[in-house]
A and B are shown apart, each in its own frame.
Chain A
């Protein structure tokens, strides 16, 4: 018999019951809750006269629609200027208080974007099933978890039963071997993967990222990669356990200590795919072929190397795709054949659960240091992913570097990743963004998003247009 993949192992160890009709009951170890997708679930629970199955599995925080402005944040929930948002955050607080669910409230140390918070507090540990009413839950898979997004009905289902009804997915392995060039980051790797397999390429699959590039990558880098599995169509992305995984977990708030830690580590070390495991789908990329990536269109698969040009309509033989391309170019206000580096930028957003961890902050600060934001820019938002990231960055003096460069240093939250709060693009504005989605209107109605790495976004802020960070010597450093 062939060996098991990491996904097979995680699935088997959480199987409560396999039903005859092909569906299964899967046990959920960790449930992360935020303000936007939970109110209807709590209400459903109450209407049905049910209570949460288990409390110590849940962890909550507000992130999606809270302000990142210091003055407004200091005023707490009561001071939120958008009344509809305020009610939503208040509802989360009320629900957590009512049931006794652990919540890191709006300005509490520990608060942050759900997918930054879970791992950094050690609420996410290897071998767990982790769910959250948010599609970027795959982020936690960087710690060899089976982690995926769920809808609100499933949030209610998990609250009530600690289980999900699921069907086993297929196994996909994306292997990237070799050594990444200077200036090429985890974000570029995952964008290149999406460019290769497309936004539906991973549908129905759980993706394991394997190969020397991921082994060499930090845990935070692996999170950036797993985070965007959903942009490749896969609900689940993951990386096997190695020493880096264990070192990352050790000492974090909710991770066991002493003997129980040793016991956990012994188990965690088994969380790799067997050498003879068979994957349904295999994809390979060579590290040397990956350049810094930039999206030019309205879907994450509309991505190219920064050195390339925007594609032209006649390059696209497929009629349906040509229509899509035409619409995307029109929306983005771009000409086919135009150099990507010629695209002028109006705003920059460095943040989101993809790229708001301390390493991302450091990478952006390295570029910003001693330089100034181009005069043509309207705004450069630097939004740390959590209170802990913010505190660490400030301890390292990164906030001062950003402020001196003319950038805005903000309070943690989702911010302009989805523009549910005041951080938005105006119609027609181009944004160099480290987030994960460039859909029409994602960052504000009519806004034009270009996804890229934190270093590339910082370089764009200084240059005033998209620029290859590898050759970037602009500014007055």
Chain B
């Protein structure tokens, strides 16, 4: 997995609450059996004026001129600024895949849906949680200044603005470590193979019906 330590980049907005994963990547793109290539279809229904089809070339599709991420000033954005309960709805990991594939390295929002939040970490994408007031300040600064950039420091757990704000954020120790080192979680868990086997033996003795039923 891709590691994340520090990042400085252009900020792009998604200014609505409760953005669901259907909005992030509509279902027709879930038919893919690949993990990559979802970026052109990120926010597909909002971003384009026509209906997107899987496998179709997006470069000639009509863009929605009113959708902020289509504004030239946000081209190349790598930090997504969003509102509360971001990523609610279905568990599709295609949502963080699309966000990452589009070019974002981090998201900043007041809150996330649980499954989406969890999925981000598996893909080297840092979901930063700031307070609603702090997110408001960032939205205002971003709107006022073209080319607005932010600096995110994962080891220090801070978001820093050029205007001098330093906002601290919380993050789980385990998740932070995995991101910092780009660790393979499955590999880590397999180091505990003995503990898993031991658990299975004890459990099979106690609750035998849990084992061997499905053939």
Contact = CB atoms under 8 A, between A and B. Distances in A.
Contacts of B203: 27
B33 A43 contact: yes
B195 A324 contact: no
A151 B186 contact: no
A134 B173 contact: no
Interface in B156-190: 172-175, 177, 184-186, 189-190
Contact of B22 (A152, A260, A442): A442
Nearest to B30: A36
B196 A233 contact: no
B114 interface: yes
Nearest to A200: B85
Interface string A122-140: 0101011000011100000
B93 interface: yes
- Chain A contact residues: helix, strand, loop or mixed: loop
Contacts of A234: 114
A195 interface: no
Nearest to A442: B22
B200 to A, nearest CB: 8
A320 interface: yes
B119 interface: yes
B28 interface: yes
B17 A161 contact: no
A35 to B, nearest CB: 9
Interface range, B side? 35 or more
B8 interface: no
Contact of B192 (A22, A25, A323): A25
Contacts of B186: 48, 50, 156-157, 160-161
B23 A439 contact: yes
Interface range, A side? 35 or more
B12 interface: no
Nearest to B52: A445
Interface stretch (A84-92, A283-291, A379-387): A84-92
A203 B114 contact: yes
Given A25-B189, A420-B30, A445-B51, A151 B196 contact: no
Contacts of B144: none
A327 B18 CA distance: 12
Given A27-B203, A153-B122, A102 B215 contact: yes
Interface of A: 16-17, 19, 21-23, 25, 27, 29, 36-37, 39-40, 43-44, 48, 50, 53-54, 56-59, 64-65, 82, 84-85, 87-88, 91, 102, 123, 125, 127-128, 133-135, 148-154, 156-157, 160-163, 165, 167, 199-200, 203-204, 233-235, 254-256, 260-261, 263-264, 267, 299, 320, 323-324, 327, 418-420, 437, 439-442, 445
11 contacts: A16-B196, A56-B213, A84-B32, A87-B31, A135-B115, A152-B35, A157-B185, A199-B88, A200-B111, A254-B213, A440-B45
Given A135-B89, A151-B91, A327-B16, 6 more contacts: A19-B174, A37-B91, A37-B93, A82-B31, A299-B18, A320-B17
Interface of B: 16-18, 20, 22-23, 26-28, 30-35, 45, 51, 54-55, 83-85, 88-94, 96, 111, 113-115, 118-119, 122-123, 172-175, 177, 184-186, 189-190, 192-193, 195-196, 199-200, 203, 207-215
